[in-house]
């Protein structure tokens, strides 16, 4: 127990020094200033990094502290959003007989924060919670872009399949179509043989908070079926008011 307290004390000492240093700092400097050997410092920094207290600046070896209050607040908001929308994911999965997903904007990516698979299919979709994908290459991401207020110039286009949007001009054209339909479609754009459809999710104050959608094999989700499902999901979501 005493050893654990000593380790905690040493870790807090390192974290306080990083915070008070007020600029990026290297591990070797911490070792010198705090008289801690390299192996002990490596363990401390690894723990602080894992727990989210620190990060490395632009993938360099320079350490900066994270604002724990902001991170905790964000995590709490995500947990609340998951609870508030679980019934929606379940209903969408049951009615469409596909796996449903909830995604949010995260540093010009879409972050999958929850999913539901109540379909009766023998082969289930993999767990995607925690995965990030490019906004322009997924139905969830395209709904967020179409109905949010984001700088499209920040996007970098990578090619995943032959159908992936590969330019800003094509994305802008797609966004016009999405706004007219009210939902977005991923027609084998992120993965071959996989199609998705998604709708924007607004809270009770009409503020965009994310997107809801489904994905399935392209052999059963042709373009006509995606349009039908998009309308079905839109109707489901429109029945509810999300107080968030």
Residue range(s) in the chain whose domain bears CATH number 1.10.10.10 = 2-66
pLDDT computed for residue 51 by the predictor: 81
For the domain made up of 2-66, the CATH class stated in words is mainly alpha
SS3 19: helix
pLDDT computed for residue 102 by the predictor: 97
Q: Which residue has the tokens 């920040």?
A: 154
Angle 231-236-242 (CA atoms, 0-180°, nearest 5)? 130
CA nearest neighbour of 104 among 211, 197, 199, 244: 211
pLDDT computed for residue 1 by the predictor: 44
CA nearest neighbour of 89 among 199, 227, 224: 199
CA atoms within 13 A on the CB side of 239: 10
How many Cβ atoms from other residues are within 10 Å of residue 57's Cβ?
12
Residue range(s) in the chain whose domain bears CATH number 3.30.450.40 = 71-238
| Cα separation, 21 vs 226, whole angstroms | 54
CA nearest neighbour of 92 among 239, 232, 244: 232
Cα-flanking dihedrals φ and ψ of residue 126, to 5°?
-70, 160
State pLDDT tens for residues 125-161. Answer: 778 898 999 999 999 999 999 999 999 999 999 999 9
Q: Which percentage of the chain shows pLDDT scores above 90?
A: 68
Q: Which residues of the chain register pLDDT less than 50? A: 1
What residues contact 230, with CB distance under 8 A and at least 6 apart? 181, 182, 183, 184, 185, 197, 199
Name the token pair of 128: 């995607």
CATH number of 71-238: 3.30.450.40
């Amino acid at each position: 127990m005493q050893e654990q307290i000593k380790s905690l004390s040493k870790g807090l000492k390192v974290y306080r020094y990083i915070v008070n240093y007020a600029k990026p700092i290297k591990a070797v400097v911490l070792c010198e200033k705090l008289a801690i050997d390299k192996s002990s410092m490596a363990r401390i920094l690894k723990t602080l990094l894992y727990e989210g207290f620190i990060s490395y600046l632009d993938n360099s070896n320079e350490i900066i502290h994270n604002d724990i209050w902001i991170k905790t607040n964000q995590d709490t908001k995500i947990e609340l959003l998951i609870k508030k929308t679980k019934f929606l994911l379940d209903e969408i999965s049951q009615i469409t007989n596909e796996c449903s997903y909830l995604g949010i904007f995260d540093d010009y990516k879409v972050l999958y924060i929850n999913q539901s698979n109540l379909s009766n299919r023998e082969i289930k979709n993999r767990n995607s919670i925690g995965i990030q994908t490019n906004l322009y290459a997924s139905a969830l991401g395209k709904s967020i872009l179409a109905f949010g207020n984001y700088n499209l110039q920040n996007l970098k286009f990578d090619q995943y399949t032959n159908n992936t949007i590969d330019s800003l001009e094509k994305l802008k054209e797609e966004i016009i179509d999405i706004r007219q339909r009210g939902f977005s479609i991923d027609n084998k754009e992120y993965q071959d043989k996989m199609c998705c459809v998604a709708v924007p999710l607004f809270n009770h104050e009409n503020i965009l908070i994310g997107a809801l959608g489904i994905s399935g094999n392209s052999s059963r989700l042709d373009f006509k079926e995606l349009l039908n499902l998009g309308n079905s999901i839109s109707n489901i979501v429109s029945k509810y008011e999300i107080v968030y």
